[in-house]
Structure 1
Amino acid sequence: MLFVGDDWAEDHHDVEVQDEDGKVVKRVRLPEGMAGITRLHDLVGRFVAEDADPSDVLVCIEVDRGPWVRALVAAGYRVFGVDPKQAARHREILGSSGAKSDKGDAHALADMIRTRRNQLRQVAGDSEIAEAVKVVTRAHQTLLWERTRHMLRLRVALRDYFPAALAAYKPLGLTSEAVLRLLAKAPTPETAAKLTINQISATLKGRRDIGAKAAAIQDVLRGEHLGQAPLVTGAYASTVKALAAVITVLNSEIKTLEGEVEAHFGRHPDAEVILSQPGIGVVLGARVLAEFGDAEGRYVSARARKNYAGTSPITRQFGKTKIVQARFVHNDRLVDALHLQASCALLHDPEVRAYYDQLKARDVSHNAALRQVGNRLVGILHGCLKTHTTYDQATAWSHRNHDLAA
């Protein structure tokens, strides 16, 4: 067997190759791209037998995606993507001086895969559909986060010079197209106070009771409020117009990407199973699929899937002291999706609600109860995906009903 440590950077890879005894047989820096991967294959070919299987080559690298990793997996090598924190801890085992270099990192990775491969997670290749879903879903969620950041900046700016706008537009939401058009047209208290009922109503098309809403907005905008000096107000107005323009573009692109998410997710064979789960819609289902992946055999059990999801607790024991607490190291995107699923499932599935109420009756806090609900739902999802069957309420919660009957 051959053990390869690959310390990657944007434009190159520092590679160390070790044999089964830990002897360093080669150290080299390779360029990124086709030239680098070709040289790596040539290098590996020099140190393995002609009849060796590609799976006898084990590669350890601090990333689990991208063209380089995909090329390694396609070559038949066993690739292990490790967390940088794991690699740092192993480097400390090899030396306590604190010294760090690219060559040293490659050495630590090669030694890590040689001595601890049974403790590491092998990169499991997701299908092309799942990879596509991950790309568009993460981009969609990132734009949502960016819109929230810009909305908060917009809110702070309005609070500082135009508090009447916050009061008038609050029922509509600062990211709504109506509010963004009004802010672009009248970004100052003076211009907003001159807006007519017809001008306000024109931005509210498609809403109910437009006349009453327009009148209420006009009343607030024409009321007396504290403000800033004219010169300062003009500066703030320029900022608000820019933020409104950015949010308008984000709204458009979010809508476009949402269509892409729905289209890609709908092509996946597991889409029906995921959508049958309580509390999951198309966008949320796509996020769950994207973050879990669909590689066969990646999760050997429901516990393994729960551990990866970060919903299962961890135990810390010190002598006679034993503490059970939530996992703080996890995939933020996946945890966010599962938290939303649990929150929505409470409203639509009576069995989920009953389980939540049972936890609350034991004085479990709301967030902790949601985390336990999410943990149970992950286990149910694992079973459904494993057997490729849709969610059945009676089957999924039969164990709890049996316990209550006993």
Structure 2
Amino acid sequence: MKNKKIAALAIAIVLTANMALPAFAAENTEQDAPKSTAYLVSYSQIEQIVLDNNLQVENNELTLDNLMEEDELKKQYERISDSIDQTSATLAAVIGNASATQDLKTVAAGTSAALAVLKTLFASQEDASEDTINLTELQIKQANNQLVKAAQSLFSTYHQLQYNLESLKNNRTALEDSVRAAQVRYQLGAGTAAAVEDAEASLATLNKNITDLQNQSLSIKYQMNQLLGHQYNDQIVFGKMPDPDIKYVETIQLQDDIAEAQKASYKIQITKLQRSILNEDTHQEKDKRKAKSNDIDAEIQKISASMATQLDTIKQQQAALALEQKNLDIAKRKWDQAVQQYELGVISSITLNQLKSNYLNQEIIVKTAKSTLFWNIESYRWLVKGLPAS
């Protein structure tokens, strides 16, 4: 179709006045420099990296560029068509002029027929309408932002997996102590073989869970590499998990944010455009327009409920984080006391290790709570920018 349009455009240039057409830049065939397979990514970099390097984003942009080019060709057709109309009117005057020679009339009639064929060719072109271009542009922006959000979510999920791994590795020390204690009791005749087997089975299960989490972490790295435009097995290093933006939460004005989210909603904007494309010429078309209007009203209500719910979740998680931080202070105090008691010979190494494990696990619980709160604040921000919560 595109070649057909270009050919038609070339014929039009010959038959009408000289019209300058915009020159299209040639594709850049220069090869990019090879990328390093080891790289660090921080949370703040994710959005720009995805938009710059993700292959799906690039394809989306190429699709939009093609539509814009189609639209530019259509505008050229319209300008040339106007020129054809003016030329045809002049030729009709020549043909109808009694004083014009027959040769001139014959040439005018032939030219007029050629222009009529060309105009019919223009009319047959399947060009994208402005509504179609706007609709595609919105859908592409939505898709690109969803890719950014997905990458950001993977960053948060990766860190939560690492916290879980830390917790399991801390618990492994206590389980290893339990296995050794069960073995000693059994050797001394104070324990049973079943107790040893149970302790060893618990340790084996924990080691399996550690391996599973390590495999999940590797899978997330593969996915993140692809979202960032890298080879799936490139060596990616995740930067530090940011702290939750409490100052942002304190400035939230729910009703203002709801209004902004409803205006920015890609789903609402897309549905409105889809509705505008429909006409009211038939009963069926009217029903479709009504259905679209109902969809818009439903989405407006859904956004209001989603944002109120999301803010409630943030508030609850803030309270939970404050509680876990207090528990961390208590665990830290008990651990400090245990170190002193162990040095004085008051408690055993097993008790010391258990209190250390409790403290380290509580530290991980706090980090996990911070990470969860951080991502829910980010999800709220995405709601405000027009993406749904899920």
Asked whether the two chains share a fold, i.e. TM above 0.5, the reply is no
The structure with higher relative contact order (CA 8 Å, sep 6+) is 2
Larger Rg: 2
More helix by share: 2
More strand by share: 1
Q: How high is the TM-score relative to the length of structure 2?
A: 0.25
Q: How high is the TM-score relative to the length of structure 1?
A: 0.24
